């Protein structure tokens, strides 16, 4: 019986691998719009797709990001400035893309732009802290998508949303996780809506990777800034050594993150170029073997696991 089940599993993965091999034709006439290309996944994806012959439109927040990409890529690649927090910036980019793609439409949008901080315990944060992350990671994703959705429908193309396993499991209540839960919900509703028009909507859910968002120095600085603003009674609830423990825990966690960003970029590339892409991609071993399984567990069991891993406040109830 065990060998029979093992054979079925092996057959399924072999069949899936074979089915996912074909790539779309005529890449040289397909436009791909990527947000957040200054560094990390977006930057690598822009370079990768440019080498494959796609007409890449790479948006950056900084002039340095644009300049570096232009130097590293072919003349087919186009860069533009984009701040996903600002409607006028989004609209200007959308108008440029409409003129650029013409009657072909836009083959793919990759919503990659994101921020990781402010990040901390719920009672360390203000509503403005939440808004600053949601404005980029969720509202920005929705706004950019809506700005070019008609062009994607014209091409019967696809939308690739970069969420996270933190959109499946919330660890400390940080705005990042909440924003990624929202991306997951938007992705699902958009996918079901766009099926009627031949548009594919795919989701990337990376585990822990060593990008700029996971910079331990920036994370620890963020913790310190939040801690210094806390009222004394809240600091007393957690204890005088809690901040140092948080910093140490963050550094240890980041040490386990995967430095190979191409694992994520390969999933993005497949979502953009495969004839039959997957609905979801979960690159990273910690995603596949910890976060995703944990997300399917009963809530009481998931809570027990995460609380066992958590740093206890000084005034935690025994």
Distant-in-sequence, close-in-space partners of 148: CB < 8 Å, separation ≥ 6: 33, 94, 97, 98, 106, 109
Q: On the CB side of 26, how many CA atoms lie within 13 Å of its CA? A: 6
Closest CA to 41 of 203, 297, 231, 261: 261
Alpha-carbon gap, residue 63 to 38, rounded angstroms: 9
Report the DSSP beta bridge partners of residue 56.
Answer: 32
From residue 74, alpha-carbon distances to 25, 47, 48, 239 in Å are 20, 9, 11, 55
Residue 260 · residue 211 · CB < 8 Å: no
The catalytic residue among 33, 176, 242, 281 is 176
Q: What does the angle CA 180 – CA 126 – CA 225 come to, to the nearest 5 degrees?
A: 95
For residue 279, the tally of other CB atoms under 10 A from its CB is 12
Residue 53 · residue 226 · CB < 8 Å: no
Alpha-carbon gap, residue 315 to 146, rounded angstroms: 47
Distant-in-sequence, close-in-space partners of 115: CB < 8 Å, separation ≥ 6: 132, 133, 136, 137, 176, 213
Distant-in-sequence, close-in-space partners of 150: CB < 8 Å, separation ≥ 6: none
From residue 239, alpha-carbon distances to 173, 207, 246, 247 in Å are 19, 31, 12, 14
Residue 268 · residue 41 · CB < 8 Å: yes
Closest CA to 39 of 78, 65, 74: 65
Annotation marks residue 13 as catalytic: no
Q: Which residues are catalytic?
A: 176
């Amino acid at each position: 019986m065990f060998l029979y089940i093992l054979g079925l599993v092996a057959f399924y993965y072999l069949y899936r691998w074979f089915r996912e091999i074909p790539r779309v034709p005529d890449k040289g006439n397909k436009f791909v719009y990527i947000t957040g290309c200054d560094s990390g996944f977006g930057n690598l994806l822009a370079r990768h797709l440019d080498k494959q012959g796609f007409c890449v439109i790479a948006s950056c927040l900084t002039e340095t990001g644009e300049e570096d990409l232009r130097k590293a890529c072919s003349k087919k690649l186009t860069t533009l400035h984009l701040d996903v927090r600002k409607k006028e910036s989004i609209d200007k980019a959308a108008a440029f893309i409409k003129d650029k793609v013409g009657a072909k439409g836009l083959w793919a949008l990759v919503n990659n732009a994101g921020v990781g901080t402010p990040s901390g315990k719920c009672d360390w944060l203000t509503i403005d802290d939440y808004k600053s992350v949601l404005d980029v990671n969720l509202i920005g994703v929705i706004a950019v998508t809506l700005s070019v959705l008609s062009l994607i429908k014209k091409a019967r193309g696809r939308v690739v949303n970069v969420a996270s396993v933190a959109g499946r499991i919330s660890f400390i209540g940080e705005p990042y996780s909440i924003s990624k839960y929202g991306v997951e919900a938007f992705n699902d509703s958009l996918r079901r809506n766009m099926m009627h028009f031949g548009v594919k909507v795919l989701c990337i859910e990376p585990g822990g990777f060593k990008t700029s968002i996971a910079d331990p120095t920036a994370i620890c600085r963020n913790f310190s800034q939040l801690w210094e603003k806390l009222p004394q009674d809240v600091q007393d609830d957690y204890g005088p050594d809690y901040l140092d423990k948080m910093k140490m825990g963050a550094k240890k966690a980041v040490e386990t993150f995967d430095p190979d960003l191409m694992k994520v970029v390969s999933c993005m590339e497949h979502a953009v170029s495969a004839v039959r892409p997957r609905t979801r991609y979960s690159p990273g071993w910690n995603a596949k073997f910890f976060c995703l399984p944990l997300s399917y567990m009963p809530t009481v069991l998931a809570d027990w696991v995460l609380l066992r891993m958590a740093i206890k406040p000084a005034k935690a109830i025994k």
